Amino acid sequence: MSRAKTPEHLRAEREALRTRHDAIPGGTGDGDWEARKNWFDAVYETAAGDAGQVPWAELRPKAPILKWLDSHPGRGKTALDVGCGLGDNAEALAGAGYETTAFDVSPKAIEWAKKRFPNSPVAYRVEDLFALPEDLILAFDVVYECYTIQAIAPEQRSDVIKAIASLVKPGGTLLVLQRTTTEAERSGPPWPLLDSELSAFSEVDLKLHIRQDYTETRPDGRQIPHSFLIYEKPASSS
């Protein structure tokens, strides 16, 4: 029987993986969006089917979205998973009764998600938050955003937040799960979000309903602050 890896071993593996990924063009997230898009695709491609080589792939839905879905069944409403990766959160939305669409900027991620869930009712597609098609605008009762914003350079976040807000239909709900920080000087990617960035959603026709802050303990011993926020868009929005 193999021994469980120690936190030190896990941290060393994480740093080695990060070093490899940083060496891929676009890995430092320097604001070149085309390079960054290609980087996401390269991470999935070089993983060669091993989700352990994709740092954000946990192969299970996030706990906050599962808890929210327990009391908010879809009953045929529409939902969108932004930056869906390998599809676990999208499948949770569909399983709760939502007519679910999920997109990612990486074609390799979408291909992988479809292979994992071959009989899924989720409409998986490749889309770019900086060039959204008209059929997605103001189209969803529920929009779920997890970790996408923090993976994009801070100087581009205003545009990203506006794009995500544009997906929520009037009367709809936006769910946001992000790593957070109080330190203005952040190293990344990913760059944890400041309160000022989270509050930017309230400046684009969304009203904060609930914020839940918690700390997630990773297997390598890191303590990572998170926030789960629920925003509502007024029914009179246009």
Tally of structural domains, the chain: 1
pLDDT, averaged across the chain: 93
60-70 pLDDT, tens digit each = 999 999 999 99
21, part of any domain: no
The span from the CA of 48 to the CA of 172, in Å, is 38
Tokens of 126: 């490749």
The domain of 160 spans 55-232
Please indicate whether residue 91 or residue 220 has the higher confidence score (pLDDT). 91
User: What totals of helices (H) and strands (E) does the chain contain, helices first?
Assistant: 7, 7
Residue 1 has pLDDT above 50, yes or no: no
Of 33-37, 183-187, 224-228, 232-236, the least confident: 183-187
The span from the CA of 164 to the CA of 130, in Å, is 10
126-157 pLDDT, tens digit each = 999 999 999 999 999 999 999 999 999 888 99
49, part of any domain: no
168, part of any domain: yes
237, part of any domain: no
pLDDT score, position 2: 53
Tokens of 18: 């990060």
pTM: 0.94
Three-state secondary-structure class, residue 72: coil
Q: What is the DSSP letter of 180?
A: B
Residue 237 has pLDDT above 60, yes or no: no
Amino acid at 122: V
Residue 195 · residue 153 · CB < 8 Å: no
Supply φ then ψ for residue 16, to 5 degrees: -65, -40
Please indicate whether residue 13 or residue 224 has the higher confidence score (pLDDT). 224
Residue 231 · residue 207 · CB < 8 Å: yes
215, part of any domain: yes
Residue 167 · residue 138 · CB < 8 Å: yes
pLDDT score, position 165: 97
Per-residue confidence band for 238, with pLDDT thresholds at 50, 70 and 90: very low
pLDDT score, position 13: 82
42, part of any domain: no
CATH code where residue 145 lies: 3.40.50.150
134, part of any domain: yes
71, part of any domain: yes
